[in-house]
Amino acid sequence: MTRILKTALALTVGAATGLGLAGSAAAQQKKIVIGVTCDRTGPTQIVGTVLCPAEHDYFDFANANHLLDGYTIDHPEIETGYKVPPAVEAYQRQKQEGAIMMPIYGTPQTHALNERLEADKIVGTTPGFGIAASADGKKYPYLFPIAASYFSQGAAAVKFAKDQLGGSLKGKKIAYIYFDNPAGTEPIPVIKDLAAQEGFELRTFAVPPPGIDLSAQMLDITQRFHPDFVISHLFGSSPAQSIKAFKANGYPLSKVVGLVWASSEADIKAAGGWGVAQGYNTMQFAGAGDDYPVRQSIKAMYKKEGKSLPAGMDTTVYYNRGLFNAAIEVQALSNALKLTNGKPPTGTDVKQGMEQIHGFTLGGLVPPLQITAADHEGGGWVRIFQVKGNGFVPATGWFNAYRDVVWQQVKAAEQTQ
């Protein structure tokens, strides 16, 4: 009996200490709070464990280099494990801490927080997932996808195929292999519209979750359909399986393009390494590889502090996406501070700052985004990086494609929301 009481007492005291410490940190002047929500556990932890440290690294970098005149960034993190109720709890907590901006992680989380962000005037960024229709800033004022949506990625993949196949898709055959969940099916209407417009034959191949075994689909694609090009929209362990299977069936990987979640170092390694994946095309919304000044500066920052580099830095695709997200946010804050002449910005100022991001490229890591009040996607830019040697080599410049078809789908998606 007493034992139980003691346990309860210990828990209460611990909780109280926790609350007290967390509370005192926020109550200081000249601070801007960015409330990071993140998932380092759960189904997408392979992304989160690399992406979140990158965001913190960039905020530290911004603080060390005084990128925000006279302000420091406070960036508390709350982990959600890719679950929706914890994400709502994390949101309330960050709001209490005074956050005016929030990197969100996860599509269902974005849907759940959308209405709250708008009511509380807090800017949320959702690069590479979230609500495709939120490209429309008129309808979703406080939500910024900033990276290319699945619609834009699908359109860009068709454009890339067209360029690779000599400038015309008339009479060609394209296979679309996708993870059979709502995220996987999302680009299909765009690609179907383009099939009619460009005159190619489209066939779709679904891979049911968890996507470990896709030999049947692969045989269908490589031995029966014989496509001229393959667009692959897979998640988790299935991209690696698909690369192996294309190789085993003798289909050239240079005629395959993987959308953004089928395109990291982790996928290549799981497929058997760079040697196996030679020629595979990956689509990126932030530059891949190590060759960017900001990465060198962060390395220097670590060196100066005498610390070893973060383990995730080698997974450049996800790490750079974290830098991308954080850098856009800091840039928006910097724009907002210009608007307020150094007074503490509100969520509305940050939104306006976000909508003034034009041609901020961070040494090539960030595409030439043109974020406006109407277009929160910033143009839907992507770049194709090909596996060559022991790394990713750019195969194209930054490009976007078929914006009219994409926006038609954005408007159609708004109707169903």
Partner 1 sequence: MFHREAGVFKTSYAADMALYPLPIAKWTVAAFAGLFIAVVPLAFGEYALSLINLCLIAVVGALGLNILLGYTGQISIGQGAFMSVGAYTAANLIVHLGMPFWITIPAGGLMAALIGLLVGIPSLRIKGIYLAIATLAAQLIIEWTINHVTWISGGVQASIEIPRPSLFGHPITSEAGIYLFLMFFVVLAIVGTLNLVRSRIGRAFIAIRDQDIAAEIIGINIFRYKLYAFAISSFYAGIAGVLESYYLGIANYEQFQLDVSIDYLAMVIIGGLGSILGSIFGAIFVTLLPIVTRWVLDGVGGLFFTEANLDNSVPHLRLVIFGSLIIFFLVVEPDGLARLWRNIRSYFRAWPFSY
Nearest distance, CB of residue 350 and partner 1, angstroms: 21
Residues that bind partner 1 (CB under 8 A): 1, 4, 11, 14-15, 17-22, 38, 40-41, 49, 52-53, 56, 77-79, 81-86, 88-89, 92-93, 95-96, 106-108, 111-112, 114-116, 119, 131-133, 180-183, 186, 310, 413, 416-417
Nearest distance, CB of residue 399 and partner 1, angstroms: 24
Neighbours of 83 (CB within 10 A): 16
Q: Which two tokens stand for residue 77?
A: 């993190």
Output the DSSP codes for 184-234: HHTTHHHHHHHHHHHT-EEEEEEE-TT----HHHHHIIIIII--SEEEEE-
Residue with smaller CB distance to partner 1, 160 or 407: 407
What distance in Å separates the CA atoms of residue 151 and residue 187, rounded to the nearest whole number? Answer: 5
Residue with smaller CB distance to partner 1, 305 or 404: 305
284 φ/ψ angles, rounded to the nearest 5 degrees: -130, 145
Residue with smaller CB distance to partner 1, 244 or 376: 376
Residues facing 320 on adjacent strands: none
Nearest distance, CB of residue 317 and partner 1, angstroms: 19
Q: Which amino acid is at 235?
A: F
Residue with smaller CB distance to partner 1, 48 or 367: 48
Nearest distance, CB of residue 169 and partner 1, angstroms: 26
Question: Residue 72: which H helix or E strand, with range?
Answer: strand 72-74
Nearest distance, CB of residue 43 and partner 1, angstroms: 9
Residue with smaller CB distance to partner 1, 14 or 275: 14
Residue with smaller CB distance to partner 1, 180 or 213: 180
What distance in Å separates the CA atoms of residue 204 and residue 90, rounded to the nearest whole number? Answer: 38
Residue with smaller CB distance to partner 1, 112 or 165: 112
Nearest distance, CB of residue 402 and partner 1, angstroms: 18
Nearest distance, CB of residue 257 and partner 1, angstroms: 22
Residue with smaller CB distance to partner 1, 131 or 230: 131
Residue with smaller CB distance to partner 1, 3 or 224: 3
Q: Which two tokens stand for residue 151?
A: 């619609």
- CB 241 within 8 Å of CB 214: yes
DSSP letter for 136, please: B
Output the DSSP codes for 282-333: EEESS--SS--HHHHHHHHHHHHTT-PPPGGGGSHHHHHHHHHHHHHHHHHH
Q: Which two tokens stand for residue 278?
A: 């030679």
- CB 345 within 8 Å of CB 333: yes
211 to 83, 178, 216: CA distances (angstroms): 21, 10, 11
Nearest distance, CB of residue 413 and partner 1, angstroms: 5
Nearest distance, CB of residue 94 and partner 1, angstroms: 10
